[in-house]
Structure 1
Amino acid sequence: MASTLLSPDCSTSAITARHLIPLKRKLLPAAIQFVSFERSLSSPWSPSLCLSPSASKYRTVVSAADPGSMTTLDTTAKIIDGKLISQQIKDEVSAEVTRLREATGVVPGLAVILVGSRKDSQTYVRNKKKACEAVGIKSYEANLPEDCTESEVLRHIEEFNNEPSVHGILVQLPLPRHINEEKILAGVSIEKDVDGFHPLNIGRLAMQGRDPLFIPCTPKGCMELLHRYNIDIKGKRAVVIGRSNIVGMPVALLLQKANATVSMVHSYTKSPEDITRQGDIVISAAGVANLVRGSWLKPGAVVIDVGINPVDDTNSPRGYRLVGDVCYEEASKVASYITPVPGGVGPMTIAMLLSNTLLSAKRIHNFK
């Protein structure tokens, strides 16, 4: 099943432990009743349709000895509020930008290179520009046509590499097919690679005893959510679903650096649900709507859902709604903490981009 459902998924932290939000975790009861839901074999299952546990396609199986089954709890999981945490980070960045400007006259600058006219990419760039303005970071843009050459993109990157007022450079992905993405990302100066995608930054992330100059924004956002909700990582079993260079692989490396024992689930993994069920922490970035069912989760697991997937919804004015990789209705009855979609990891990505841009400006100007 994994080979047909899983696909490649969809950045050092400047925020220290003193910024953590002390939150008490609710302990699971000592005696719990295990319940699992089995899909009826008489009708096919669609990953885009998340059925409630009471739906006719499921039957309840009670087993006090089944370690892979779901637990019945009186309350649902606590929500990890990405909107709230991202706003706190933006406030912190804004205060530091002001302090840097007043002390040195330096204003952090972020340059974004957009190739083509994809509506989603234009929206992302517009949102990043608004976020920069809100915290006092100056934004620069280079908008290039769809049919531009690699040389033209690299020329704009080099101009921003040499521009002292630019402290961070972001190339909006995906790029048109005729442009070599790896070559473009490698052209960004490692000192300004606020997206954390430069091969040298990824290489330093993978090495023991070495730290990258920047961590990719979405993985960094996932870790920041865990830290700020005071969720223990050390010694825990973590499962990462998806292994892309953008999210899955770097977040797995970050979890290892935080001393978790990490397993990865990908398109060739056999029995992905069995492996996922071992996770105290589950981070899903597969890009498959409602892939992770409640029965995939260990009772009390912490669930970070990176997926943002459109599914048909005739009740929505847009004709669709956004859901994650995790079937929220089922998972929230099993997990101890869970991120919603939207409103979970998504807002954190831009917040981490702002944090990385500030970090770059402070490092370049040797400002503590």
Structure 2
Amino acid sequence: MIAISDLANAVKPSATLAAGAKARALKASGITVYDYSLGEPDYTTPAHICAAAEAAMKAGHTHYTAANGIPELRKAVAKYYGQKYGLTCTAEQVLISNGAKHSIHNALAAVCNPGDEVIIPTPYWVSYSDLVAMTGAKVVLVETTAASGFKMTPAQLQAAITPKTKLLMLNSPSNPTGTVYTKAELEALVDVLVPTNVAILSDEIYEHLTFGGVTPTCVATLRPEIRDRVITISGASKGYAMTGWRMGWTVATEPVIKAMGNIQSQQAGCPCSISQYAALAALEGQQECVEEMRVEFEARRDLVCAKLAAMPGITFPKPDGAFYVFFDITAFYGKTVGNITITDSLTFCTAALEQAHVNLVAGVAFGAEGFARMSYASSREQLEKGLEKLAAWLPK
């Protein structure tokens, strides 16, 4: 028998993907399940983007590309940041990868050494801690609260910094909470880091999804003193409904991009050629589809928040972005429903799935016991039906 490595044994399977698999298993048995576990837009990729992929195939763009991505797409990403955020960068400061998760992995592998410390505010996206651990670096979690809107304060950041701190990971808009830091709040955090050598990995993948007049902030634009220490991650998955195309990108200094490109060249060879031409069409084509999806997600947010707020025992801060609600479920601890006694977020979500057939993700997976995450990336009809099931089940 081949012994499994310590690294593989230490890595946990994705909680969101595991939750989705459980829901699919129930569906396969003929049960109607309202699955709110995955962070994936329910929209089909816009037609003009699909058409660009088809044209790329017909044109013969089916071969390996440069490891860092095709020049046209790298230039388009650089142009996008200049036009949207006023961030001047060149194609040489852009790396195209197989999704934002791949981009984050490459960035961490390029800058973190064993023994380095990486600060992550909780709640955090399930993959962050494992991706950091793969490099041998240590995760330093900073707990935030619902009362603070799940936002880390400058004082908390200052207290977490040690001589070993290499990186701060930020995610705004946030998965799983939908939190969006204001520009002033981000400036206050960045100011803590200016006199240090600590870098920032800013995961901005949900930048197209903000609501109620709230606007996203590109962290790299905040302070010129720290711009060269910011690694910006984003991609086409959320804003353009392109999750399966696996298109992510990084904007950073040329040395960081070169290091990431070297890693990617050995690890994946290059990003998918067809997907790159599709992403190019997404960035350079009409943008009305992005706004149409954003408006609909905002309407879904309002629907879900109104329904959840009417359920006794459920509390949450209203999210300003992404497509998640992260709600407190501790009022139900100690209660027994059927054959399940609810003792934590995992037993709550297990009972909700098995008994109400509503699939949520346990807060413990995001480093925040006592909460559950609901994705509202489903049709309004599906959201209403599932929330009716949840509302009927909770009093039991």
TM-score > 0.5 by shorter chain: no
TM-score range, shorter chain: 0.3 to 0.5
The answer to which structure has the higher helix fraction is: 2
